[in-house]
Amino acid sequence: MMFNASRLTSDGYQTYSGVKEDNYQFKLQKPLGKDTMLTAFSTYNKIHSHAPDKAGVALAQVARYGKDYSLNNDKTSQNYYGYNYNDKRTDFEYIRLQSKLDGGWAIDNTLYTYAYDNFKRSLDALVNQGTRIATKADQTYTTSLPFLTAHYAVNKQWSAYGQVARGFLVPELSMFYVNNPNLSTPKPQTSTNYQLGTVHQSGSLTFDADICYIDFNNKIASTGSGNDLVYCNQGGVVYKGVEGAATYYVGSVFALHANGSVNKAEAKDTGLQVAKAPKSTAALGLLYKDHGLYGSLIAKVYLQDTRDLSRILREIQAARQPCKAVQGHGRRRQDHQDRASRKRTAVARKHG
């Protein structure tokens, strides 16, 4: 049996931006006969932190209070730390039953549950920092987040896996920074993720590849202008992609790494590629690891479309042209020197 309790606290670099985290863990293993093991596990985590609703501070505040200014202890200020905080609670539990059967077979069953509590959005302000009027509004969001993972070992070096999972993202608190926040009732953004992949490891080479399909719904948008904005759900996006990565150990403490992907992100209503979503990515780098010390040097490229690749090739070609011009100039200069040398030699022979 194991039980562990811990607390982490920090005042933070910025003013009144402290954080406190409490964690509790419990684990029990009990044999049920000589070939069966029952395991029960539970962990609970609570985080209380202070952070402003809006990132960054005004230049006048930095000039007056210093570069580390974030929140204060003035209850009449919207930056009072007591008004700006986050409470997050998570718990994870599972029961696992492992049994060895005849003929080399084994059964490994796990039943687990996971909870994340941070889905409430509320605002109770005498002065709304967006509209400068009194505002009281709140929204609470709940959902279940099921997921399924399956692994299959082809052999000792090669395995395959499949995953299905559901994601969930609640609207930001800024939807209350309008004249009538009760008109804004968008649903949380959701996603259903499907992934198939394979992993291979043998000798000095590690390789993995996967394909994914993500169905994203309830994209949050707004209508109106200024403080009369109304937030609502509008359409969704389908993401598709293929990705591969390989790492090769070259000896000593170094390894080469390469990664690449081809992606699609199409809006459901128009079928067009979503802005700023790369159509392909590539990375190449050098990894270092020795006696607990790890480092990496990796170059990455993100391409929005084929025009980006053409642009990069043109830039590479342009960068090479000055070298060719210098080389050509050097050859012309050498030819001129050779002709001058031959002319001096001829003159010397004539007068000799």
Model confidence at 323, in pLDDT bands (50, 70, 90)?
Answer: very low
C-alpha 333/C-alpha 327 separation (Å) is: 10
Q: Could you tell me if 120 and 140 are in contact, meaning their C-beta atoms sit under 8 angstroms apart?
A: yes
pTM attached to this predicted model = 0.62
Q: Can you give the chain as a three-state secondary structure string?
A: CEEEEEEEEECCCCCCCCEEEEEEEEEEEEECCCCEEEEEEEEEEEEEEECCCCCCCCHHHHHHHCCCCCCECCCCCCCECCCCEEEEEEEEEEEEEEEECHHHCEEEEEEEEEEEECCEEEEEECCCCCCCCCEEEEEECCCCCCEEEEEEECCCCEEEEEEEEEEEECCCHHHHCCCCHHHCCCCCEEEEEEEEEEEEEECCEEEEEEEEEEEEECCEEEECCHHHCEEEECCCEEEEEEEEEEEEEEECCEEEEEEEEEEEEEECCCCCECCCCCCEEEEEEEEEEECCEEEEEEEEEEECCHHHHHHHHHHHHHHHHHHHHHHHHHHHHHHHHHHHHHHHHHHHHHHC
Q: What ranges do the domains of the chain cover?
A: 1-118
Q: Each residue of 262-319: pLDDT tens digit?
A: 999 999 988 888 887 888 999 999 999 888 898 999 998 888 765 555 555 565 555 5
Q: What is the pLDDT of residue 329?
A: 43
| Average pLDDT value for the chain | 83
The CB density around residue 231, as the number of other CB atoms within 10 Å, is 21
Is the confidence at residue 352, as pLDDT, over 60? no
* Span 176-208, pLDDT tens digits: 888 888 888 888 899 999 999 999 998 899 999
Identify the CA nearest to 208 among candidates 253, 175, 159, 167. 159
Residue 326: per-residue pLDDT: 36
